[in-house]
Structures are given as C-alpha cells and as structure tokens.
A and B are shown apart, each in its own frame.
Chain A
Amino acid sequence: MDPNFTVERGTTASRRFAVLGGVLVVALATLPFWGDTASMRLIAEMATYLALAQLWNLLAGYAGLVSVGQQAFVGLGGYALFVMCGWYGIHPLLAIPLAGIVSAALSLPIAFIVFRLRGAQFAVGTWVVAEICQLLIALMSSLGAGSGQSLTPAIVRTVAASKADRDMIFYWCSLGIALIVLGLVYALLRSRHGLALTAIRDSEQASRSVGVDTFRTKLLTYVVVAFATGGVGALIFLQKLRISPAAGFSLNDWTVVVIFMVVIGGIGTIEGPIVGLVIYFVLRQLLADYGSWYLIVMGCVAVFFMLRARDGIWGWIAQRWQLHLFPLRRNFRRGGP
C-alpha cells in the first residue's frame, strides 16, 4: 500500500457528536444533583433499554441471529442476582457482573441447541428456550416458584442505607451499564470480529467464502450478548427489588419492545437503536392513557418500516446527510496524519 495513505475513521460530524455526547453524558451523570426522582427513574429505564436494544441489534442486525428469546437472559441474570445475594450473601453490585457470567455460561448449552436451527427457525427456537427457562424456574419452590421472590431489606440496605442514596446508585449503575454496553458494542464492531460481523450482515455466504469463520463469530457474539444481557437483567431486577418468572421472562417487556425500537430506528447500525429508543419513549408517553394502543401503534409503525424503509429512520438520515456518528468505516486519506 502507498505509505502515504493513513487510515482513519472519524468524520467531522462524528467528532462534533463525540463532544456533544460527552456533554450529554456529564449532564446526565449529574442529574441526581439537579433533577427530580421521576426524571431519574425515566432516564434509568431508558438507559437499560438502550443497552438491551444495542445488544439485540448486535445479534440480529450484525450476526444475523434473530433471537426472539433474549428475555431468557434478562430473567436468568435477574434470578442469578437474587440467588447470589439471597443465598451466598454476595454484595448486590458485585452480583451484577457475576450474573452476567452465569448468563454467559448458560448461553453455551443453549447455543448448542438453538444453533441447529437456521434463520426464522432460530427465532422461534430461542423463544422456546426462554419459555423453558420460565417454566423451569416456576417449578422451583426454592426460588419462590410462580409467585417469585423479593430481596430482603437487609440485602437492600447493603447497597446504601437510605432510599435516596440507593436511587442515586441505581441510577448511576443504569447509566454506567448503558455506556459500557455502548462501548462494548462499538469496540467489538471496530475490532477484527466487527469486520467479520459486518461481512456476515452484508452477505453470510460471501463472508464464508473469503474465510470468515461465521460459526465462531456468531457463537462469540451470542455469548457476549448473553453476558451483557444477563448483567442488564440483574440490574433491572435489583432496582425492582422483586422478581417473578412472568416478569423476568416477559417476551413483551424484554424483547418485543426492544425489537420495535431497533427496527424503527434502523437495524444494523449503532445509531439506529438510539433513535428508536427515543421514539419509543415519546410514543409511550403520548399514548400512555390508551392502554395497549401504544403497542398496536408501535407494531404498525414497525411493520411499515420493515416494508417501506428497511434501514429505519437512521438509515434515512444517514443517507440523506451522509452522517455517521459512530464511524466504523475505514477512510483512506492521502498524506500523513
């Protein structure tokens, strides 16, 4: 290669966005000192959903693993935290990453089974696995069976003595986990694996023919996503202080909503799920008084996007303004840095 070429990925827009994003993060991080509890709760919820959406997008949008069963790992992570705190006295905050490890470990035998199924069959297969997890846990009386269990006040107090302090810690954890997941996804996509993943997204057959080990790449992605999803699940139920099979393995809460966000925002990009997240929460707020209508509206919007604008809102924006806020593409530039 011409030695005078340098490889860079940043664009002017992405550098401006990085500054803006930094400001936003600082503003959000200081929210507990100037905002009210309601907005803290909303931002925390948005942060956990941002993490879930990024993770599902990594699976479905890049690795081609369209899972409808990610609620399995949310629930398993949640239950893992309750077991570690309740039975073994592990500190709740330490239990979050440990729950991720448990979830990743369980994802291996699950992958052994569901990876036998292709495409749409894989989707339903993951769903069956999530159902099995829910049914099995509902049978375990030591885990509270069908009605679930709560964290004891003693355990809750180990996070912080006062409720206000706990709210603050949970809030920062949510924000932190969203940033970690975002960073993890971005780093993974920029790595060698990311190149392989992008190749699989564009054409699995072609990428296999140029020597990408698609099975290993997919398995790695599946396990990493299970790890992070388990951690997010653990945090979600640590905040709720209570878990039950129906809540932990809820298809609607942990998968349907997440898929809608990603599809509307734009699948196969990092920016898309962020856009979809904002739209989801706006719609939910607007239609809050109309019962399940917000799900009907979201469903219609998602179907519309899949039929008419497959790249979602972000796809349209990116094409119109040539905008890439998380530059993954390597740009070749003549001359030294």
Chain B
Amino acid sequence: MSLLETCALRAFYGDFQALFDIDFRIDAGETVAIIGANGAGKTTFLRSVIGVLVGSPEMVTFDGDKVGGLPAHALVRRGIAMVPEGRMLFPSLTVEENLRIGAYGRRTGAWDLQRVYRLFPILEERRNTPSMQLSGGQQQMAAIGRALMSNPRIMLCDELSLGLAPIVIGQIYEGLAVIAAEGMTLIIVEQDIHRALAAADRFYCFQEGRVSLTGPAAGYDQAAITAAYFGV
C-alpha cells in the first residue's frame, strides 16, 4: 500500500481550476520528484496535499486514512511536513526558535535539535541569530530542519533550489540525500529538472494542472520529458 495517494485531486482558486484529477502515489521510503513549468500546478498540488487548500476527504489518502478534508495543522500532527516555497521562516523568531516551533505538534521520533544541528552544523553556530539574518542557503537549511523537527513520515519540499547559488544547492541536496538515506519519504518539487531527477526514484511531470508524464527517474527519455514539460 502506498504511504500517500491522491485520487482525482482537484484544486480551485475561486472560480479558477488549477488542478484536474491528479492521481499520484508514493510509497514509504521513496523519493518522488514533481517537475513542470511555472504555473503547472506543482505548488498547488503540495498545498492541496497538506491541507492549506482544503478539498474533499477521498482526494487524499495517507497511511490508509482519507484525509483530504483535514486542515494543515491536523495533517502535520499525523506526520506530513512541508518545506514551503521561499523558506518562510518566522522573522520574529531566532534560528533555534524556528526549529523548535517545528516540534510544536509533539510527534516523537528520531529527529531533534541535536540531530538537525549535526546535519547542518552552521545552524548551531547561528542558533541565536534572528532568522532573517541568515543567508538564503542557511535559511533553506533551517526550513528543512524545521520540517524535520516534526518527525514527519513524509516531507514535501517546494523549490528548494530557488534563488540559490549552484554550490549551495549542492549542499542542500547532499543534506536531503542523508535524510532520504535514513528512510524519509520525500516529494520534491523543482523547476531544475536534472537536479530533481538525480535525487528521485520516480517523477511526475505536470502541465497545466494535469499529469503529462510519469515514470522512473533513472534513464528517463529527455525528448519525452521536454514534450511533457512544455507541451510541444
């Protein structure tokens, strides 16, 4: 059985339909990439899965339960975490406070402050800094650490590489590989196709709110992806 599955998931912004009948599944321990052009509906999909956009119950199944109608805070307590696009650290909180608030839902598990600091040592160095004084890459590490602090069973990562220098992106993805190696289930949304496919086991390509292609990440067909990505 899949850890998380969506069935004919739809999402709307007012009258505008952003997603059309998305069928998606991910098994425990898998890393799945979602790629697609700007506006293809990748972020909307993550927001629907985690309940920021609320749909109907049967649209999302998590660990056998129909959870599509639940709000985000309830899903976090069940073990879904999200690293939102643009990091979204809390400006009023220090680095360590940002990490601690990740544990607000009081889920127990392997991840705690010490372990996050071991993964990203720079965060420990800067633990008492206001979060907005971190560099972009450090902020991204803090956002990942914050999500880990909730000890999720699945982590949704939205545009981790956005606005970061290639070398920093490399560091972030190294961290992600460590997290995945410890058995975390990951959904990675990326615009950088190669980066995403290198990290993933499987991929879905979104185009204008629909899945245009899906398959294993290894040995993918460049031409097919280009077609699915741009719709040409």
Assess A/B contact in the complex (Cβ within 8 A): no
